[in-house]
With several copies, the nearest count.
Chain A
Amino acid sequence: MLELYNGSLNVEEILSRWYREYKDKNFGAFINFVGIVREENQIDGLSFDIYEPLLKNWFSSWQERAKKRGALVLMAHSIGDVLVHQSSYISAVLSPKRRVALSLIDEFVEDFKANAPIWKYDLVGGKRVYAKDRSLKLPNSGILSSRG
């Protein structure tokens, strides 16, 4: 399940709903990672663009990967502005086994950081400033460039 929201995430509602929905499905481990916007560099918050078709493909391939290990992945992400101390991102894994859950959440979150087609901007003085220095190039970047 991939959920996209305009603005910040209602973390309490999302975690509670996911827990209620899956607690009777005989997964022994439910692990989730919540990203909260930090107050730093005088930003008012962050803002996000998402390319949904590719994000859905990426998420589906992860669901397949989790399924092979008897597990399930869930994710929620914000589109647009999310202010400091609000949340923009939740990833979760449900698994019968503790070890699988702990390994998968790590791989899932790290792969998300490297490959999910999402662009982040700092909100500074009412403007969106692309967080270029914190962004990562996707695989095979640069193939259309005529430089170098």
Chain B
Amino acid sequence: MARVEFLGPIEREPMEVDIKNLKELKDIFKDDEKLQEWLEISAVAVNDTLVSDLDKRIEKEDKISILPPVCGG
């Protein structure tokens, strides 16, 4: 199972998902109205690298991070 972490202000517990790619993750989230508000403005990293492609293959043990807008400093 891959692990999904919600970072910063999203305030959700991590979850385990059984998926082959990010499209399947998008599908899992599609009816979660509250999460959609975050997903609209959040980036996605797989194993700590930002990704741009939903076809990105997800392996077991992969770590998926959901990153809302940032403001350091």
Contact = CB atoms under 8 A, between A and B. Distances in A.
Given A35-B73, A119-B7, A144 B42 contact: yes
A62 interface: no
Interface in B40-58: 40-45, 48-52, 54
B73 A139 contact: no
Contacts of B43: 137-141, 143
A105 B25 CA distance: 39
B68 A135 contact: yes
Contacts of A88: 73
Interface residues of A, number: 41
A130 interface: yes
Contacts, number: 121
A140 to B, nearest CB: 4
Contacts of A132: 9, 69
29 contacts: A49-B8, A54-B65, A88-B73, A113-B71, A113-B73, A116-B70, A116-B72, A117-B70, A118-B71, A119-B8, A120-B71, A130-B9, A132-B9, A137-B42, A137-B69, A138-B70, A140-B43, A140-B50, A142-B41, A143-B44, A143-B52, A144-B22, A144-B29, A144-B39, A145-B26, A145-B36, A146-B29, A146-B30, A147-B39
Interface of A: 35, 48-51, 53-54, 57, 77, 88-89, 98, 109, 112-121, 130-132, 134-148
